[in-house]
Structure 1
Amino acid sequence: MSEDLKTTPLHALHLELGGKMVPFAGYDMPVQYKQGIMKEHTHTREACGLFDVSHMGQALLKGADVQAAIESLTPSDIKGLPQNGIRYSLLMNEQGGIRDDFMVTNRGDHLYLVVNAACKEADFDYIARSLPDYELELLNDRALLALQGPMAPVVLNRFAPGIDQLIFMNMGEYDIAGIPCLVSRSGYTGEDGYEISVPADKAEDLARKLLGEDEVEAIGLGARDSLRLEVGLCLYGADIDETTSPIEASLNWAVGKRRREEGGFPGHGVVMTHLNEGIARKRVGIKPLGRAPARAHTEIADQDGNIIGEITSGGFGPTFQGPVAMGYVKHEFSKIGTSVNLIVRGKAMPAEIAKLPFVPQRYYKG
């Protein structure tokens, strides 16, 4: 391990479990364990996987009318969010691009924020500078675990009875095996599941208890990526970044109806122009018609050989049982079923624009 890589509170456990460690967002993280990415992916879809996502940034934003304050940075409707409700949100720049995607929970007198690992220092600096009258408390003393898969509520209910009734995109405070935790019914696999914010000094104890259940296996970053790709979820820095608008990224739903009318967030003019006048390119699902996966940065061509876009995420979908990808194409080629070619090592490989998600999302909505 490089000495300048950070570690999470579960680092020793990852090594004990045989995790293959790789640098990721400045951290030494497990890309897979002994059973491998394919089996880890399938196990999460069929039973329950435990992910260490402690590298992500957690913080509390405090102050008067804090819901209105955060709306000056995001196009999401946070003022309309019920207490303990969660919203997938976007931090915007003045050009209509996406600084980061993040989760915002309305805790009443404060907000609970979770941001991406690679962006967390820049995100928190930006929020603090933009909202100087508000207190941003970084939760560096907490770990974050994700328990994902159809058996997640069954498993967690053994330790925290009643937690199976928590609804998707809602949060609550629970004692799990006697450990006080902040739990959201959310995740980034397309499966039912939870994200558990736990005191860092209790994280390994909790992880061991969960891994002690028959249904639960430790899952690495590799399967986390293939799981989110199959259900069409964006990876920041690949599928969305400072040069993509929410409308180009097919994230129109993340721009609240009231916010479109009122504005008051960075890039509002660009977003409204894209909504009202159309876009030149669009994020779409792409299905290679052979068995070979197409990776990020693969060029996309029309039937005449003209380059019309690029893949941003691609790989093999174990549940889909075939290659899957996402990327951007010129808007006129974005209709589902449109035939395209992928330029792989100079050869044109047939593909088509596909509907997202490739496999159904299975969230618990009550």
Structure 2
Amino acid sequence: MSDSVPPSTDLPIDDELEPIEILTLPLDAWHRERGARMVEFAGYHMPVQYEGIMAEHLWTREHAGLFDVSHMGQLGITGPNVAAALEALMPAAISDAPLNKARYSLLLDDQGGVLDDLMLTPQGEDRVYMVVNGATKYDDVAHMIERLPDEITLNLMEEHALLAVQGPEAVAAVARLIPGVDALVFMQAGAFDWQGHALWISRSGYTGEDGVEISVPAEAAVALADALVAQPEIKPIGLGARDSLRLEAGLPLYGHDLDPTTTPVMADLGFALAKRRREAADFPGAARVLAEREAGPALRRVGLLVEGRQPVREGATVVDEGGATVGRVTSGGFAPSVGAPIAMAYVPAALAAPGSTVTLSQRGKPHQATVTAMPFVPHRYFRGVK
């Protein structure tokens, strides 16, 4: 569907309508000063690239990249029995989770459809820190406020920026500025101090690489970003490379690979269904989700290696021998580290096994692809010294 409006329409014109305001992040001027090309994303001006997506992607895989992800929703959720209250909204085991141990989970509707995917970390008996997607954060807040008990308080931390440093050299570089960060392991978080500013840092990210995500007061974001890129390993990286990196890592993007029409089992995110919660069947949509887990879903998210050099993008269809649509491509592009086009798609369960061949249709042109296990590039998370 085109975003353009035909020259002649029957739609009424309201001269008083004001354009939707695009918001700016704490580092907006900082990005522009470094030559970033800015685009609108999730309601904000965001840097899509600096020197080029390919170069930025490869630099991150080899060294370290600084990503401004301050558009994401950072939430501080507090109150008595807050973990149990949140468990009523998602399938994670929160009440028995170790403090400062991050968990990936899913906000589900009553039919088991995915409203958002998120990261949460218990910070104390009555406090959970959560990061949700930028495009859905206000809907997420409204959904949770409507369903959480009155004694639970939800604070959208709009006075904080969120910076991610990703790549094999990321943690060593950050540890020069913030000692002790290198003691964290994958999905572990903690409180740190930098020049008198309280930081919350988790060893996690969205690229498949080792790295950290840093919650920092907005007034200190520019100074911290300056200090980070002063390290020889770290360069600023835009949204374009962030997308190609997460695609290679096999990580879904909400609004593209995940939405309310998909369930955790369809999306191949069964690991997010905690064993205790499965046994209790006490999360939203449990009956449908557990039935799919037992019998298998009709469609499943898979990775695709696309033949040739032409990328197949979101919106392309998976077709059968007669040309009928049987699935859909949800993400796709050229993978710099793979050297070939790759994609994610929902395909019928009979075609979901690695090695299966499928036909894709993009603007009426057929493309052949092979189902492959994800990630396309091995994850390099640091889980501790063996």
User: Which residue does 1:94 correspond to in 2?
Assistant: 110
Give a deviation string over 1:44-76, Cα, whole Å, max 9, x none: 110000000001111111111211110000011
Query: Does residue 78 of the first structure (1) align with residue 94 of the second (2)?
Result: yes
Q: Is the 8 A contact 2:116 2:133 kept in 1?
A: yes
Paired residues in the alignment total 364
Confirm or deny: 8 A CA contact 1:159 1:177 kept in the other structure.
Answer: no
Among 19, 42, 45, the residue aligned to 1:28? 45
Tell me the equivalent position of 2:370: 352
Determine the structure 2 residue equivalent to 1:39: 55
C-alpha displacement of 1:227: 0.3
**Aligned equivalents of 2:316 and 2:155: distance in 1?**
41
Report the Cα distance in structure 2 between the residues aligned to 1:253 and 1:70, rounded to whole angstroms.
18
The match for 1:297 is: 315
* Aligned residue identity for 1:293: P
| Residues 1-366 of structure 1: pairs in structure 2 closer than 5 A | 4-33=21-50, 35-109=51-125, 110-131=127-148, 132-366=150-384
Deviation at 1:291, TM superposition (A): 1.1
Deviations 1:193-231 (A, max 9, x none): 000000000000100110111111100100000000001
> What's the CA shift for 1:80?
2.6
Shift, 1:177, TM fit: 4.8
Q: Which has the larger radius of gyration?
A: 2
* AA in 2 matched with 1:139: M
Tell me the secondary structure at the aligned position of residue 255 of structure 2: coil
| 1:277 Cα deviation from its structure 2 partner | 2.2
Give the C-alpha shift of residue 304 in structure 1.
Answer: 5.0
**Superimposed CA distance per residue, residues 104-134 of structure 1 (whole angstroms, 9 cap, x where no aligned partner):** 1011230001110010111111111211220
Counterparts of 2:296 and 2:323, CA distance in 1: 25
Could you say what secondary structure the match of 1:275 adopts?
helix
Q: Which runs of 5+ in 2 are unaligned?
A: 1-18
Counterpart AA for 2:326: I
SS of the aligned residue for 2:124 comes to coil
Q: 1:129, 1:93 → 2: CA distance?
A: 13
What is the identity percentage for the equivalent residue pairs of Structure 1 and Structure 2?
Answer: 49
Following superposition, the deviation at residue 179 of structure 1 comes to 3.1
Whether the aligned pair in 2 keeps the contact of 1:56 and 1:120 (CA below 8 Å) is yes
TM-score normalized by the length of structure 1: 0.97
Q: SS at 1:82's partner residue? A: coil
Residue-by-residue CA offset, 1:225-271 (whole Å, 9 max, x unaligned): 00000010000000010110000000000011110111222111111
Displacement of 1:303 after TM fit?
Answer: 4.5
Where structure 1 has 5 or more consecutive residues not aligned to the other structure, the ranges are none
How many Å separate the matches in 1 of 2:293 and 2:123? Answer: 31
Structure 1 position 81, deviation (Å): 1.3
Aligned AA for 2:164?
A: A
Q: Would the alpha carbon gap of residues 3 and 73 (structure 1) be closer, same or farther in structure 2, given more than 3 Å must change?
A: closer
- Residue 59 of structure 2 aligns to a residue whose secondary structure is helix
Looking at structure 2, the residues matched to 301 and 295 of structure 1 have their Cα atoms a distance apart, in angstroms, of 15
Amino acid at match of 2:175: N
Could you tell me whether the CA contact under 8 Å between 1:29 and 1:221 is conserved in 2? yes
